[in-house]
Structure 1
Amino acid sequence: MILLGYTVLLLLWTCTAEKDCETPPPRRTKEILTGTWDKASYPHGTSAIYNCRPGYIKLGRVTFECTNGVWKHLHPYVECRNKPCGHPGDIQFGSFELTAGTEFVFGARVEYKCDEGYQMLSQRNFRECQADGWSNELPHCEVSKCLPVNAPENGNILVAGVYETDQEFSFGQVVQFECNKDYKLSGSKEIHCSADGHWNAAVPTCIGEKKIIF
């Protein structure tokens, strides 16, 4: 009878005994496991603590525990989140848009473009939120420039009512032409510096007027 009682107790203990975890704690995308995990099994109740990978932050401890053969995330549920980079910065004569991500956090990307009539001087027009902050320097936009124009033969160039020669012009500037006495203008009387840095028309020419002799 006593032997039967011990047998029953042994069976009950065997059925209720907690199982070990036969695999290491799970690998995580944003977190990295601390310590060494090279055993064949891990006893029930074993805790595994994670740290955030570069580019991520946490507001608590990320912990898993072996519970009856299964690794479970302990409550309160804490995980690593993308590290914020703050505002990427505005540029003069330009703007930006968020092309990757929805917030200014690790993994986000913003692309800059210049306003009409301005050209980007920087080699890179983007910034990416990395583990140590925003990449690259802020891009720089400069007003588009048109090359100097030569006055037509037998004519002159006027800019804002003043004769000008051999000067560079910026987007939106207008150059007017006039011919000397006894010459007539053939072509556009004025041209303007376009947003792409080119003149919108060719320089006109001055043609001598034919005089009628009686």
Structure 2
Amino acid sequence: MAPALALLLLCQVALYTTVTSKNVCGRPDVADGIEELTLNRVYEVGDQVNLVCERGFLPSTATPRKLTCTDTGGWTPSDLACSREFTGPLDSHSAGAILKQLEFLNCYNHPKVEGVSKTGEKSRCSHDGTWSNPPPLCKAVNCPLPKSPRDGRIVFDKPVTGSTTMYGQGWTYECNPRMAPSYERGSCMADGSTTEPPLCREVSCTIPTGIPNGFITFAVMRQHGYKETVKYACNEHYILDGEAEIQCQNSGNWSSKPVCRVPCAVGIKRGRIFYNAKKLWIGDLKPNRVLHGEHVAFYCLNRAERCGYPVASTCNDGTIPIPECFEEPGKVEYTLRAKTLPSEITMCATSPPARPA
């Protein structure tokens, strides 16, 4: 019986050796810069692999770069090398370049852009080490002085001398009283032209209206002209959010009104909080009111360490979230065992990561 068993095992070993004796090739070793993501882990004899360089690398040879898996389990040699290629500056007019980055072609010092590329056009560093777009030609630009609007004037951002102004110079159009320009800004442009003057026309805004939980501090209840203003304030304990003063714009509309944000009531009946640099029992917060944007800390229990830690919450327009970790004590615990509450026991050295309130 034993010889038969040994013979059976010997046959199995011989069969396994026969089945697995065929050589295969593993993933070929490649140099830096050669793309590896497309390579398999195992290849059979006769399989071929085309090697390519990674983006941003240039090949050392233009000849075929194929490797073949041989019956010895090795690969045929390859002389391919991939070198990192930095694209040089476009020329003296460009700002230089960095590999794989987009180069913005801009002119500085009051430019005028001529040629194929326009101001702000992008040129990409190509795989072959060249730029996708030629550089622009930058020349100084001067514009004739702009024309003033009828029934108005021009106010330059910077003093102007002579009969021309430089590229990038800006100005504001103003109209006579009770009139507004159809647009307010102008400039010397890259093509050497200036903005056409706007039209001056009478503009008025509707009678200003109040805001919830607030009031107009002073205004005559009438229509208002261009650039006239109205100022708002909030009722006591409400917080003004936005610009207090609104202005009648050249469109005939008021600028955005402010909003009066609502105070919050702290929504717990029992427990201690930290507010305005003080540790308070909730019953001592009189009145129960926290202003918009103010912070209140609630005390939570770290059960593992048996220590307490504060978690802050912020009043946001009438709502102050209670942290999930906060557990409001019962009446008996609050009355008879107050010293065991998280706010009264030892504070934790570090607070555990708090879940969002």
Q: The TM-score by the shorter chain falls in which range?
A: 0.3 to 0.5
TM-score between both structures, scaled by the size of structure 1? 0.43
TM-score between the two structures when normalised by the length of structure 2: 0.28
Name the structure with the higher strand share: 1
